[in-house]
Structure 1
């Protein structure tokens, strides 16, 4: 199970308190949204505050630093800045999503060739990396080619809006895209 603490801004203390509360559910992953401008130091401090709680509690929960592929539009950290903050702040995984939920995919902001470089950079830093952001079956071939560690799908699996219930037929269709992998 993963728990998203949400976009906390530059609030290390609030992030630490939210992490303490989330740990009562014993999640495997704890995601911290970093809707922050540069420098990476601010994101590092938020992540470090959460990682300190994880360490103090002896939690086996992995810390995920979540940033945005549409960072240029949002004025947030670049993927390289996210990787820098994740390493310095004690995260083990970086997740690139889209901040805007208006139907643009991650690929609309970062083409697969650029994402492949980000994946390589994350791996070189010892991090796992996940990709999300309005991804669907049409993106699967390119996603398989660039080989991220994790993939996040939501809207393409629901009965309509991204917050609706899952549609079993859509889930099967997406899984079919991964046949033989």
Structure 2
């Protein structure tokens, strides 16, 4: 499991596009720095040189993850992309599965090629009818975790696409397969309290950190606001549980 993840306290994953944004996210209280190019798709990949610079700048102070891009579920393509991203020195490689074809062969190939080089996290698309039957395949292939995200950023946020019941089903299925579970997909600050109550291991943000939208720049104040909202939601949940006891 990624260092810093604690069950019941969702880690704050902040997606950044360069080393300067990574420093802003670190200073503002992010738990995980995620390298992603929103201009290149839902899980657009940054150039390897940029990812290396981010890894160097963070210098081991936080875990760093990186996406491999919006790729087809082709075993050779995914394996090569995962290896290339792992070689940048990131702690976690995120691989998206967009529901375009059966991902099982690609999952197995990526795991065999890369699970010893970096932790692997699968990203399933909430707006592409994610198949939870692949979770056991992920675990057998050596993946550490799985996240929900959205492929079409114009189609709405994760919370507008899936119900609380569906999100809970996903989280339970992930844990039943010994995978840590994260939620992302155009999440807003207003989503944090409700999602924290579901006890995900991770909440991922990009657009909420950028005043001009996900393709704009990360702003320090927005990072601090999200950090504060996560902490407040967790304290409120603990207080509620204590009162109920």
The 3-state SS of whatever aligns with 1:7 is coil
Q: Runs of 5+ in structure 1 lacking a partner? A: none
Matched, 1:63 2:120: yes
User: How many aligned residue pairs are there?
Assistant: 170
Q: Measured at CA, do residues 137 and 27 of structure 1 come closer, stay the same or move farther in structure 2, by a change above 3 Å? A: same
Find 1:148's aligned residue among 195, 200, 212.
200
Match of 1:51 among 105, 111, 120: 111
Aligned mate of 1:97, from 149, 174, 182 = 149
Residue in structure 2 matched with residue 131 of structure 1 by the alignment: 183
TM-score by length of 1: 0.86
Distance 1:19 1:68 in 2: 18
1:81 deviation in Å? 3.2
Q: Quote the Cα distance in structure 2 between the aligned partners of 1:142 and 1:161.
A: 22
Note the aligned Cα RMSD (angstroms). 1.7
Higher relative contact order (CA 8 A, sep 6+): 2
Q: 1:18 aligns with which of 58, 64, 81?
A: 81
Runs of 4+ in 1 over 6 A off after TM superposition: none
Q: Deviations over 1:4-50 (max 9, x none)?
A: 11232131011111122112212111111111346xxx312112211
Gap runs ≥5 in structure 2: 1-63, 235-245
Q: Residue 27 of structure 1 is aligned with which of 64, 79, 90?
A: 90
Q: Tell me if the contact between 1:46 and 1:89 (Cα under 8 Å) persists in the aligned partners.
A: no
1:1-16 matches, cutoff 5 A: 1-16=64-79
How far residue 92 of structure 1 moved from its aligned partner, in angstroms, is 1.7
